[in-house]
Structure 1
Amino acid sequence: MPWSLLKPFDELDLATREALIFGAEKGRRGLGRIYVVPAGPNGNEVTNNIFTITVNGIGREGIVPENTFADTSVLVSGLSEGHNLTSRYMITTTQKNACSDLFRGVSAAASQVAAIIGLALQAYPSLTLRDIQHLIVQSSEYDELDEKHAFICNGAGRYYHRYFGFGLLNATKLVTLAKKQTKTLKLLSVKLENSTEKISDDGLVFQCEFCQGCDDASTQPCLTKIEHVAVSFEFETQTKELRMYLTSPSGTESVLMKDTKDLKSKTIGQIVSVNFWDEMALGLWTFRLYSIPSLKDEDNVTTNVTSVTLTLYGTSATIPSEKQNRCDSSRPFSDDNDISETDDLEEQSDESHLATIIERLKHLAINFVVISGLVCLAKCLARF
């Protein structure tokens, strides 16, 4: 399934949506079909759901390729240019029994990840969709990537990257773990309405909070451990740039949106984040939205948020303590439109990427001078 929607918050048609859900829940005799899709624009419905595995592409040496989507639903990444981190291309078949070395990008990465998942299913055919999702998180690595400094540790000790998800999929590790996989606990979900709502004086900052707790008197299982988190909202805006953040009870911050190209003035949609995988669900969740005015903005650039809801997906894998089960205090509300710590890390990542390119250009220049000198020397020797 190497395709994605093209614009932010694009929706699937009803038939495709129902087919996707049915396949993920009932396919493979109830184990669930595995849909591997490439990363796409903010809020597109192909990647922003719990039924697909979203993949991004990693460039040579482990850098972020140009025109890569930052998608918080990205679970894992594959190689976008070859069979290893130093390859410049890969050979594959094409039409009329021909071979091609032009296949690259996120489509190539998604195909590679899908093939590795196929190996895991061959080793253990009884794996469910959620088994595969958990195994992918456990089998992803980042130590060899040029972007390893930009990975952030979440509250469960899982390292994630805004573009690469939990890293590059290790095929050997995935297949090995697949043989030892135990049954995944039943999936639970809970929908939370915001308990508090705050807006800055200038109207540029919106913040709301959600509390997840367990009722000790209830006989029903309580969701305590996170897999996916979905933020659904409706808003109207005239600004050219919106930034959205979600902070978990553990303090992990997921950058839901920064780029708002092609964003409609009135938006109804959902963004899914996997950045909180395996964290404790209990406690206070905070959603923040920033309307960023540009120098050219003279009219109203505020954002009118009609509704925000939070849906948690996970399991009752842990027993909550009394402290974890409380939401007594709110997070401080700041009406400053400052860049967050996560944004600082991304800017450092961009600077590192630029430094890497400059260093490679230096090496190319040195090699060119050396080769030119050797050619000149060879011509001189030929005269004698």
Structure 2
Amino acid sequence: MRPIRTALWRCLVLPLCLALVCPLSVGLVSARAPIYVSSWAVRVSQGYREAERLARKFGFVNLGQIFPDGQYFHLRHRGVVQQSLTPHWGHRLRLKKDPKVQWFEQQTLQWRVKRSVVPTDPWFSKQWYMDPLASYDFNDYDPDPQPRYTPSDENRHGTRCAGEVAAIANNRFCGIGVAYNARIGGVRMLDGTITDVIEAQSLSLQPQHIHIYSASWGPEDDGRTVDGPGILTQEAFRHGVTKGRGGLGTLFIWASGNGGLHYDNCNCDGYTNSIHTLSIGSTTQHGHVPWYSEACASTLTTTYSSGIVTDPQIVTTDLHHQCTDKHTGTSASAPLAAGIIALALEANPFLTWRDMQHLVVRASRQAHLQAEDWRTNGVGRQVSHHYGYGLLDAGLLVDLARAWLPTQPQKKCIIRVLHTPTPILPLMHVRKKVLACAGRANYIRSLEHVQVQLSLSYSRRGDLEISLTSPMGTRSTLVAIRPFDISGQGYNNWIFMSTHFWDEDPQGLWTLSLENKGYYFNTGTLYRYTLLLYGTAEDMTARPTGSQNATVPSPSWATSTSPTAHHRTSVSPARQ
């Protein structure tokens, strides 16, 4: 089960610096009524002194900057009820009238679940302080991130994820982490009230010190929620990829979700479907789709995890100085990927966040993974909604990383396809011929991420299947039917994302298809449709494929166990 936002969140820091964060500009759609708390986020251009003036003037306590180098501040009001179903209109009015306030927002509770850390290693307590800059407790605002012990041990999630990444080798205890020489830190943030401020602070902790954030949590995997990061967390993602790691970009590794039993789709999760996160799916030892796995177009790659009761699960550290062989879910898959990516950064520390995604695409293989939806995309790669590009091969990833030449700058081409309200037919196709911004500075020759931003109403949202077909003939399902999603809210500026068109030429006819897969009397209206293309002006298909330029063999990821990296990795609790 993934932890909810009222659970523990923990980051691991490897000698390479793994950290978890991801920005996404999406409209949030949720059936829950917002619950307002006494925390406020405020943006002022004059910095700390102006924030202090505002706090004194309006009776707030200034809790400091939200981002280390930003203009956003966290304020809390003593006189406001801790939780309320209605916003505090008086404070809103006063802040709105102050000319120095550029933006403000009263915080609301966020509902997040763990997608399943104090390691069981006898030296665990020392490991947290090998790299204290990568650790913090954002629930109690102190530097000790160790989990709160309870009779049910529900806060074990982060400890288990941490052990997968960086458990020490040759100490006669438990097993070893994929990147066992990595330094690891912890961030506690899901064991209390969770707001956009707390998420943003957690995902922007020491962005020059932490290289990789591993996160195994997100909105509820109940098959009816459509939710994602708030404004501040989106900003944290943007800060991470543009300024983190010396400008090369923070790497955010995210568990794709455990809602398979509820027919959930990870493209309704604004964290996993962000272009700034690297979304990880799961497979069993025998290459079957796990019962909890969610299929969606934003998953990039896959690592191992648990399956049915008789299948082996993941071995790692646990609470109470114990080991466990019962770690499960996509929560367990994301830390494995974080460790593998740490090895690649050890081989080539100058890789950008986009370089890493290109490498992961090339280092993932169909292998023995079984699914009915494997398809060949326009550039000849096998891709699946269950597995992305397949099983991540650590040896091949490291091999390719050593020889990789930097990717040219990211280009973004925005095509506004439809702005006039149009009734949604039982089967509807919206076609648009695209030049991919040819002749302009943002011309794209080779695709990376593709986004579809939609505003629409529909009488039963979960009955509407939406797909996108590229000019090269690749069809990607943006959201399949979700029988538990009976909402009539539709999608409000929601951004769907697909990785299935990677390296394709975007010029030509794009087709958006909407199909009613449920009750025949469903009705709806498509209000806005924008196609957003990301990529590069370089023809990426002309680059060498495989690892012929590398100097080291390409063993399977399961046998690649000799890391010497010193990357710092931050791992949060996984989706169990």
Q: Aligned Cα RMSD in Å? A: 2.4
Q: Please list, as runs of the form range in 1=range in 2, the aligned pairs for 1:193-342 lying within 5 A after superposition.
A: 193-194=416-417, 203-213=425-435, 218=439, 220-239=441-460, 240-260=462-482, 261-262=484-485, 264-266=487-489, 267-268=491-492, 269-294=494-519, 300-318=521-539
Tell me which residue corresponds to 2:407: 184
CA-CA distance at 1:43 after TM superposition: 2.6
SS of structure 2 residue aligned to 1:102: strand
Name the CA distance, whole Å, in 2 between partners of 1:234 and 1:221: 25
Aligned CA distance change for structure 1 residues 235 and 107 (closer, same or farther; 3 Å)? same
Which structure 2 residues correspond to residues 62-211 of structure 1 after superposition, within 5 A? 62-81=287-306, 88-147=312-371, 150-194=373-417, 203-211=425-433
* Structure 1 residues 114-162: Cα deviation after superposition (integer angstroms, max 9, x where no partner): 1000011111111110111000000001122233x64210001111011
Q: How far apart, CA to CA, are the structure 2 residues paired with 1:219 and 1:20?
A: 27
Structure 1 residues 214 and 248, CA gap change in structure 2 (3 angstroms): closer
C-alpha distance in 2, partners of 1:304/1:54?
A: 31
1:373 equivalent in structure 2: none
Per-residue CA deviation, residues 263-303 of structure 1 (Å, 9 max, x unaligned), is 63222111100011111111111101112233xx6xx4122
Distance of aligned partners of 1:166 and 1:219 in 2 relative to their CA distance in 1, 3 Å threshold: closer
* Offset of residue 87 of structure 1: 6.3
Alignment partner of 1:42: what SS? helix
Deviation at 1:214, TM superposition (A): 5.8
Q: Does 1:47 align with 2:269?
A: no
From 245, 248, 271, give the equivalent of 1:31. Answer: 248
Partner amino acid, structure 2, of 1:44:
D
Query: Equivalent of 1:18, from 235, 241, 263?
Result: 235
Distance change >3 Å, CA 90–CA 67, structure 1 → 2: closer
Following the alignment from structure 2 to structure 1, what is the Cα–Cα distance between the partners of residues 480 and 496?
12
Q: How many residue pairs are counted as aligned between the two chains?
A: 309
Q: Is the 8 A contact 1:140 1:168 kept in 2?
A: yes
> What is the Cα deviation at residue 20 of structure 1?
1.6
Percent same amino acid at aligned positions? 32
| 1:11 Cα deviation from its structure 2 partner | 2.4
SS at match of 1:74: coil
Deviation of 1:205 after TM superposition, in Å, equals: 2.3
Higher helix share: 1
For 2:337 and 2:436, how far apart are their aligned partners in 1?
37
Q: State the alpha-carbon separation in 1 of the partners of residues 387 and 370 from structure 2.
A: 12
SS for the counterpart of 1:210 is strand
Higher relative contact order (CA closer than 8 Å, sequence separation 6+): 2
Q: 1:26 to 1:263 in 2, by over 3 A?
A: farther
1:355 equivalent in structure 2: none
Contact 2:419 2:527 in 1 (8 A): no
Relative to structure 1, the CA distance from residue 263 to residue 158 in structure 2 (aligned partners, 3 Å threshold; closer, same or farther) is farther
The 3-state SS of whatever aligns with 1:91 is strand
The answer as to whether partners of 2:376 and 2:383 remain within 8 angstroms in 1 is: yes
Secondary structure, aligned partner of 1:301: coil
Deviation of residue 198 (structure 1)? 11
Listed one character per residue, the Cα deviations across residues 58-85 of structure 1 (whole Å, up to 9, x for unaligned) are 1231111113111211000110139xxx
CA distance in 1, matches of 2:535, 2:508: 15
Q: Judge conservation of contact 1:78–1:113 (CA < 8 Å) in 2.
A: yes
Kindly tell me: are residues 214 and 19 of structure 1, through their superposed partners in 2, closer, same or farther at Cα, counting changes over 3 Å? closer
Shift of 1:9: 2.7
CA displacement 1:329-363 (0-9 Å, x = unmatched): xxxxxxxxxxxxxxxxxxxxxxxxxxxxxxxxxxx
Change (3 A) 1:25 1:163: same
Label 1:263 to 1:39 Cα distance change in 2 as closer, same or farther (>3 A).
farther
5+ long unaligned stretches in structure 1: 320-384
Residue 337 of structure 1 aligns with which residue?
A: none
Tell me if structure 1 keeps the 8 A contact 2:445–2:535: yes
Residue 195 of structure 1 and its aligned partner are, at CA, apart by: 6.6
Partners of 2:471 and 2:401 lie apart in 1 by 31
Match of 1:374 in 2: none
In the alignment, the residues of structure 1 paired with residue 436 and residue 329 of structure 2 have an alpha-carbon distance, to the nearest angstrom, of: 44
Letter in 2 for 1:250: M
Do the aligned partners of residues 165 and 35 (structure 1) sit closer, same or farther apart at CA in structure 2, a change above 3 Å counting?
Answer: same
For the Cα contact (< 8 Å) 1:291–1:303, is it kept in 2? no
Deviations along 1:19-59, one digit per CA (max 9) or x if unpaired, are 12211221001011110001143332101221000011112
Conserved? CA contact 1:10–1:44, under 8 Å: yes
Q: 1:77 to 1:215 in 2, by over 3 A?
A: closer
2:419 touches 2:529 (CA, 8 Å); kept in 1? no
Residue 5 of structure 1: which of 216, 219, 225 is its match?
219
CA distance in 2, matches of 1:24, 1:232: 21
Residues 1:265 and 1:137: Cα distance change in structure 2 (over 3 Å): same
Q: Could you tell me how far 1:197 is from its partner in structure 2?
A: 9.1
In structure 2, C-alpha distance between the alignment counterparts of 1:35 and 1:255, rounded to whole Å: 24
Gaps of 5+ in 2: 1-214, 258-265, 541-576
- The amino acid across from 2:386 in the alignment is Y
How far apart are 1:203 and its partner, in Å? 2.7
